[in-house]
Amino acid sequence: MASTRFRTAVAPPSRGTVALVGAAPARTLWRTAARRLRRNPPAMISIVFLAAIHLVAAVGVGVLPHDPFATNPLESLRAGSLQHPLGTDEVGRDVLARLVLGSRVSLAVGFVAMAISVLVGVAVGAAAGYLGRWIDVVLMRFTDAMMALPTLFVVLAALAVFGGGPITATVVIGLTAWMPVARVVRGEYLRWRVSEFVDAARAVGGSDLRIMLRHILPQVVPSIIVAATLNIAFAILTESAISYLGLGIRPPLPSWGNMLQNAQIYIWSAPTLALYPGLLILMTVLAYNFLGDGLRDALDPRLKL
Amino acid sequence: MVSLAPGGPAIMTTMETTPEMREAHRRRLGLDQPLPVRFVKWTAAAVRADFGRSFNDGRRVGEVIRERLPNTLLLGGAALLLSVLIGIPAGIVSATRRASPVDYTVTFLSFIGVSIPAFWFAILLILLFSVRLDWLPASGMATIGAPFSLADRLLHLIMPAFVLATATMPGLVRFMRSALLEELGQDYVRTARAKGLAGRRVLTRHAIRNALIPVVTILGVLIPRLVGGAVITETIFGWPGMGQLAVASTVGRDYPLVMGLTVVVAIVVVFSNLVVDLAYGWLDPRITYG
């Protein structure tokens, strides 16, 4: 509570007076952000698209008539028809059903990997920014070193060690994406560490851990949301790449990436097979990037007026 | 660390052998020794630039990598050149015509660039330029059987370099755009305008030159991205470089090769970052070292 009250002290008088009387200033931030976001057409279209694709991924598998694993050699590589709207793949499985299940797999990997990267990034960034001194130096040099390494080489080396599969792939992707989060969070902790509300919290006997989590963390949430949104985009893209290489999600379980694995072989006879999964990846990643960018503009406290 | 993987090369290479033979094979590759011992031995050899022999064909890892490194450098260099040649002008146009249709188009395209899966983009390009139009070769570095010619090499280079460049170009465009916008808001730009300099000249002689300086630093960020992107690009286009080798050796659990590649890639990245840092100091006299 102390944290939020002090924050409004720097807000313009008109809104500041209202806030001081008792309205939660955090709501004002979110309301301003929502208003700004509504004036950003790419971000709004992205939200609608993302809502749709997540809904389909969540409930679509049960609704569709076809089993995504059922093969039928007699019906292989068919073009779109009434029975199979997007056609069938090389072993006669319904492409639409596999795309829907693949959406669930790819989005789940994206979310979990994002959660891992945010947890690690916030922990590292908060420790470096708040504790400072040699801890900061060590943690940030490590972050820089990780950033300098090409992601896919690291991912490949890690997969060579731990083997492929959905769980290792997800964890490895998460562990290659935390660095930007750590940098942003560190910057925020450096900034808030010297603020008055932190001094106040310390004066009444708040421990370092309590100050980091209860007082500073809420201030950092907007930045974390932006970084998390962009990280989902990164994670989905990376998952698709390693699954395409045959090292991530393995068939028969479909993901957008591994559905493209065989598409290259049938590029002559069934080019549409290569079209749909890639288009879904592009649109979903694009939407998350637009949304992340829109959120960054909307949540930027410097543009508060 | 890499050798913690389950399975292991001994099992991969000897599918139908007795346990005794498998054991002998493991001993020959040195896999019977405990991990810390192997790691210390590997490190001791690696600092003398000896990465051991590939499990796959017994050739020296250094030799295999030396064969592949120039190909990756060629591809990466071409992609970097493409991103700079297209990205910088696009960023400049975007900044000078801010909030115009041109700016929106450039911004939208750069969003597409970061969001498009490289392998899918590559497949689309192959579909269009190799399958439909038959203008460009779909894979490899040279036409099989034909003698080396520069034109042939360039034809093979176009698509992979372009695909690789799409990953790095958007960052360059957006950075150039914001750097130039910042410079255009500076006092010296207003002064130059005030003393009667033509708008075009203010831009080329003053603002762009200053905006380019910070752009050099972003090259340090782009280089690891180029090398990472090479994994996908080389695999799809059958370009015999280090990225393709990394995929093959990961699939085949060729630990010495995976380790050697990771070390070499790290060295390349660190070295190019050093060059970028030095170039920055040279371009901007305000920066001093030491």
At B87-125, the pLDDT tens digits run 888 888 888 888 788 888 888 888 888 888 888 888 888
What the block records as the tokens of B66 is 């030396």
- In B, which residues are within 8 Å of A282 by CB distance? 112, 115-117, 120
pLDDT band at A93 (very low <50, low <70, confident <90, very high): confident
**What share of chain B has pLDDT > 90, as a percent?**
0
Phi/psi for A88 (5° steps) reads -125, 160
- Measured between alpha carbons, how far is A271 from A263 in angstroms, rounded to an integer? 7
With 60 as the cut, is the pLDDT of residue A22 above it?
Answer: no
- Measured between alpha carbons, how far is A103 from A96 in angstroms, rounded to an integer? 10
The enclosing H or E element of B46 equals helix B35-46
Burial of B145 (0-12, 13-18, 19+ CB in 10 A): exposed
For residue range A127-150, list pLDDT tens digits in order.
Answer: 988 887 888 888 888 888 888 778
**What share of chain B has pLDDT > 70, as a percent?**
73
Model pLDDT, residue A88: 73
Q: Between residues B213 and A82, which one has the greater pLDDT? A: B213
For residue range B193-212, list pLDDT tens digits in order.
Answer: 777 666 677 777 777 777 78
- In A, which residues are within 8 Å of B4 by CB distance? 161-162
With 60 as the cut, is the pLDDT of residue A6 above it?
Answer: no
What the block records as the tokens of A70 is 């059922």
Phi/psi for B187 (5° steps) reads -65, -35
For residue range A45-92, list pLDDT tens digits in order.
Answer: 888 998 888 888 888 777 777 777 766 666 666 666 666 666 777 666
- Measured between alpha carbons, how far is B91 from B180 in angstroms, rounded to an integer? 8
With 50 as the cut, is the pLDDT of residue A21 above it?
Answer: no
With 70 as the cut, is the pLDDT of residue A102 above it?
Answer: yes
Give, in order, the Cα–Cα distances in Å from A230 to each of A78, A129, A296, B267: 37, 22, 10, 29
What mean pLDDT do residues A189-208 have? 84
pTM: 0.79
pLDDT band at A123 (very low <50, low <70, confident <90, very high): very high
Beta-sheet strands, E only, within A28-172: none
Q: Between residues A26 and A248, which one has the greater pLDDT? A: A248
What mean pLDDT do residues A205-227 have? 84
With 70 as the cut, is the pLDDT of residue A169 above it?
Answer: yes
With 90 as the cut, is the pLDDT of residue B133 above it?
Answer: no
Residues 6+ apart with CB under 8 A from A5: A19, A20, A25, A197
Give the range with max mean pLDDT: A94-103, A170-179, A260-269.
A170-179
Q: Between residues A78 and A245, which one has the greater pLDDT? A: A245
A residues 187-216 closer than 8 Å to B (CB)? none
Task: Name residue B53's beta-bridge partners.
Answer: B60
pLDDT band at B48 (very low <50, low <70, confident <90, very high): low
With 50 as the cut, is the pLDDT of residue B9 above it?
Answer: no
Model pLDDT, residue B56: 62
Pick A163's closest partner by Cβ from B6, B261, B269.
Answer: B6
In this complex, do B224 and A149 lie within 8 Å of one another by their Cβ atoms? yes
With 90 as the cut, is the pLDDT of residue B66 above it?
Answer: no
Contact B82, B152 (CB under 8 A): no
pLDDT band at A23 (very low <50, low <70, confident <90, very high): very low
In this complex, do B120 and A282 lie within 8 Å of one another by their Cβ atoms? yes
Q: Between residues A220 and A10, which one has the greater pLDDT? A: A220
- In B, which residues are within 8 Å of A247 by CB distance? 247, 250-251
With 50 as the cut, is the pLDDT of residue B62 above it?
Answer: yes
What mean pLDDT do residues B20-40 have? 61
pLDDT band at B21 (very low <50, low <70, confident <90, very high): low
- The predicted complex's ipTM stands at 0.76
pLDDT band at B54 (very low <50, low <70, confident <90, very high): low
Q: Between residues B111 and A304, which one has the greater pLDDT? A: B111
Q: Which of A49, A106, A152, A231 to mutate to test the interface with B (most CBs of B within 10 A)?
A: A152
In this complex, do B250 and A156 lie within 8 Å of one another by their Cβ atoms? yes
With 80 as the cut, is the pLDDT of residue B176 above it?
Answer: yes
- Measured between alpha carbons, how far is A112 from A174 in angstroms, rounded to an integer? 8
pLDDT band at A121 (very low <50, low <70, confident <90, very high): very high
The distance of B231 to chain A (nearest Cα, Å) reads: 7
Pick B224's closest partner by Cβ from A150, A263, A285.
Answer: A150
With 50 as the cut, is the pLDDT of residue B170 above it?
Answer: yes
CB contact A85 to B (< 8 Å): no
Give the range with max mean pLDDT: A49-53, A252-256, B153-157, B266-270.
A49-53
What mean pLDDT do residues B214-221 have? 78
The distance of A41 to chain B (nearest Cα, Å) reads: 12
pLDDT band at B1 (very low <50, low <70, confident <90, very high): very low
